[in-house]
Structure 1
Amino acid sequence: MRKTSYAATFVAVIIIPCHRVSQNILSARLPDWLIAKYDIMNVQVTVRYGLMERCERSCGHLEYTDYECRPFPLSVKDKCDGENRMFCALWTSAQYFTELGIGFAAMGLVALLIGVSTHSRRRRVWRAVAGLVILHAVFQLVTFILVTELYRKERFPAFEHARPGVGYVLNAVSWVSGFAVGAGVIVTGVAADRGHKWAAGNRAYRPIEGC
């Protein structure tokens, strides 16, 4: 593959995963995958659920309370040892899967940096880049499926009042974009191996023809 193709892929992978460093880290850390709003005795309560924490705010006519956040889910408060045991196990698994996805995205960036170093490496490393980007997308997709199923089936009582938030949307954008970038790397890499100039550049590989 030509250096321009690697540079474009590098930019795409940087954009796909970003909070401070990446979009995946942002979606993983944001406490607003699901947002529940309901009224209790004329006090509006807003609860934001993230993969790692839960934040709550109460707002009434005479009272305003800033967000109070805590880790989520917790063994006792969220009944992880009782009726919500399955929910807690699956929600925690979603956390692990998104962290694994971030790891593969970081490895993909390293592979890209190695790939742009020399022409010979660019010809070989695109397979690793494609594989890592797609693995990143797969793990983000698994997280999305788990959270979606828990939300859709209201496995946690408060989810009855919940709606998807920014973290949920960012995760969806992440895995969709990841599959698109991975497919683009594969198509470009295969074309470069076949000697197409648009993919391989001026130094495209040409097999030596027999006499």
Structure 2
Amino acid sequence: MRKTSYAATFVAVVVILVINILSSRLPDWLIARYDTANTHVTVRYGLMERCESSAISIPGPSKGGRLEYSDYECRQFPSRVQDKCDNENRLFCALWTSAQYFTELGVGFAAMGLVALVIGISTHSRRRRVWRAVAGLVILHAVFQLVTFILVTELYRKDRFPSFEHAKPGVGYVLNAVSWVLGFAVGAGVIITGVAADRGHKWAAGHRFRPYKPVPTYGTNV
């Protein structure tokens, strides 16, 4: 493959890695909102934490005036005690924690893909082979991110957690979907370009490409 192709792949994988890190850290995969007479509550669920904000509006002492109070608090999610992970929510907690692990594995494979790119393009002989490792790592990243997406989607769709019936997907959820779609696209692009380069297509291999030729062997007569 050409250096230009590897440079474009490097940039694409960096973008995917940044998206993955953001999606895994953002506490807004699912967002639930509740309204009562004087209180508006917003609960944001991330893979690792739950954040709750509340705004209270009550009539003030002056005519037509109102007093407003707000509060914002985050905690680990799911929590063994507060989210009843030892009782009725045991399955939910296990699957949600698994989603955390899968997305972290995806981040790890994307980072390994970057390392493979940096090492692989150092010499011409490595550039001819490293695309296979890069494609495999990027696709593995996408697979793990997709598994995370499926787990969260199923837990949300089936209301496995009591508050999820009022929830809607948030930015973290969308970024995760973008990451695995881009991952499969980049992985497929690397495979197509790498195969084309091995076959000697100049658009993929460059003008200085020289196909490997088998070393002839000669028999000896005794």
Interval of TM-score (by shorter of Structure 1 and Structure 2):
over 0.9
Distance 2:83 2:190 in 1: 43
Residue in structure 1 matching 2:82, options 77, 81, 84: 77
Residue in structure 2 matching 1:26, options 18, 22, 27: 22
Q: In the alignment, is the contact (CA less than 8 A) between 2:17 and 2:111 conserved in 1? A: no
Q: CA RMSD in A?
A: 1.4
The answer to whether the aligner puts 1:59 opposite 2:24 as a matched pair is no
Matched residue SS, 2:70: coil
Matched residue SS, 2:168: strand
Equivalent residue, structure 2, for 1:86: 91
Equivalent residue, structure 1, for 2:109: 104
Equivalent residue, structure 2, for 1:4: 4
Equivalent residue, structure 1, for 2:33: 37
The answer to whether the aligner puts 1:176 opposite 2:181 as a matched pair is yes
How many residues align? The count is 206
Distance 1:209 1:47 in 2: 64
Gaps of 5+ in 1: none
1:95-139 CA distances to partner (integer Å, 9 max, x unpaired)?
Answer: 000000000000000001112211110001100000000000000
Distance 2:68 2:213 in 1: 80
Matched residue SS, 2:71: coil
Percent identity over the alignment? 82
Gaps of 5+ in 2: 58-66, 216-222
Matched residue SS, 2:51: strand
Distance 2:104 2:134 in 1: 18
How has the CA–CA distance of structure 1 residues 207 and 107 changed in structure 2, closer, same or farther, with 3 Å as cutoff? closer
State the shift of 1:177 in Å. Answer: 0.2
How has the CA–CA distance of structure 1 residues 42 and 114 changed in structure 2, closer, same or farther, with 3 Å as cutoff? same
The letter of the residue matching 1:81 is D
Residue in structure 1 matching 2:133, options 125, 128, 132: 128
Structure exhibiting the larger radius of gyration computed from Cα positions: 2
The letter of the residue matching 2:118 is L
The letter of the residue matching 2:39 is V
TM-score by length of 2: 0.90
The letter of the residue matching 2:164 is F
Matched residue SS, 2:207: helix
Q: In the alignment, is the contact (CA less than 8 A) between 1:193 and 1:205 conserved in 2? A: no
1:150-189 CA distances to partner (integer Å, 9 max, x unpaired)?
Answer: 0000000000100000000000000000000000000000
Matched residue SS, 2:88: coil
State the shift of 1:42 in Å. Answer: 2.4
